[in-house]
Amino acid sequence: MIGRIAGVILHRAMDHVLIDVRGVGYIVHVSERTAAALPPVGQACALYTDLLVREDLLQLFGFQSLLEKEWHRLLTSVQGIGAKASLAILGTLGAEGTGRAIALGDWGAIRKAPGVGPKLAQRVVLDLKDKAPKVMAMGGALTVDVSLPDDAVIETPVAAPKPARAAAPPPASAQAVADALSALSNLGYGASEAAAAVAEASGAEPEAGTAQLIRAALRLLAPKE
């Protein structure tokens, strides 16, 4: 199993990248969001990978973080969601956004992904909603550095492609979300209600830290008069 690949980008496209690893070129399929965040041709990059093995096919799928890879694994466990649909969802919402949508039961957000209809979006939420709190709580530990080692050999750069589109504003960090969920759990809140409150809070305040997320989530969880 190939779990991670690091090398120099030889070619970039909207849905895949060709990476040279010591003279061997690997085609890695990625979401549009991941493709847009990759460095120019000729520069080094590293991606976590998942290898799809079939009788007549071997395909590598790449992810910027272990959190994104974990959501890909869960999404493709849903009936009707293949690798292409999973990348479409992750490309539309990102790993954190996917977790937030599922925790909130927001199948409408999942439906925004190209090729995902309403019934399939509802199935994703129904099948994964109970798993979302655990993945969100693991997010801080799953999001780690994927940089190349200091002694990595980088080949002579070639012409760079057109500038990538501007990335969306970063969501609340996975570590802040994980810490907020842990704090709410220690206060006695259930996993599902805590995950939904933290997801809503992080959506409202994308750059919030742990303390801000906890305060906002507690306000959402407070009994309504």
Residue with tokens 């050999």: 153
For residue 202, tell me if it sits in a domain: no
- Is residue 38 assigned to a domain? yes
Reported in sequence order, the residue ranges of 55-107 that DSSP labels E, i.e. its strands, are 57-63
Last residue of a domain, one of 89, 110, 132: 132
Residue that is last in its domain, among 110, 132, 154 = 132
Give the CA distances from residue 210 to residues 16, 186, 194, 200, in Å, rounded to whole numbers and listed in that order.
Answer: 35, 14, 14, 14
Q: What is the pLDDT of residues 148-195, one digit of tens each?
A: 444 444 443 444 444 444 444 444 577 888 888 888 888 788 888 888
Which CATH number fits the domain that encloses residue 55? 2.40.50.140
Model confidence band, residue 121 (pLDDT cutoffs 50, 70, 90): very high
Where is pLDDT greater, at 1 or 20? 20
Same domain, yes or no, for 88 and 36?
A: no
71 lies in which domain range?
66-132
Q: Say whether both 78 and 88 belong to one domain.
A: yes
- Residues 56 and 72 occupy one common structural domain: no
Does 71 lie in the same domain as 52?
A: no
* Residues 16 and 37 reside in one and the same domain: yes
> Tens digits of per-residue pLDDT, 128-141?
988 888 887 776 66
Same domain, 86 and 60: no
Establish if 104 belongs to a structural domain.
yes
Q: Tell me, what's the pLDDT at 141?
A: 62
8 Å CB contact between 107 and 121: yes
Split into its structural domains, the chain has a count of 2
Residue 84 forms part of a structural domain: yes
Report pLDDT digits (tens) over 22-48: 999 999 999 999 999 999 999 999 999
Question: Are 77 and 193 contacting, i.e. CB atoms less than 8 angstroms apart?
Answer: no
Closest C-alpha among 62, 87, 57 to residue 5? 62
Both tokens of 52, joined, read 């799809």
Residues 72 and 95 in one domain: yes
What Cα–Cα distance (Å) separates residue 50 from each residue in 19, 58, 72, 105, 220? 15, 11, 9, 27, 37
CA distance 197 to 107: 17
Q: Is the pLDDT of residue 60 over 50?
A: yes
Does the CA dihedral 133-137-139-141 come out positive or negative? negative
CB count within 10 Å of CB 87 equals 27
Residue that terminates a domain, selected from 64, 82, 107: 64
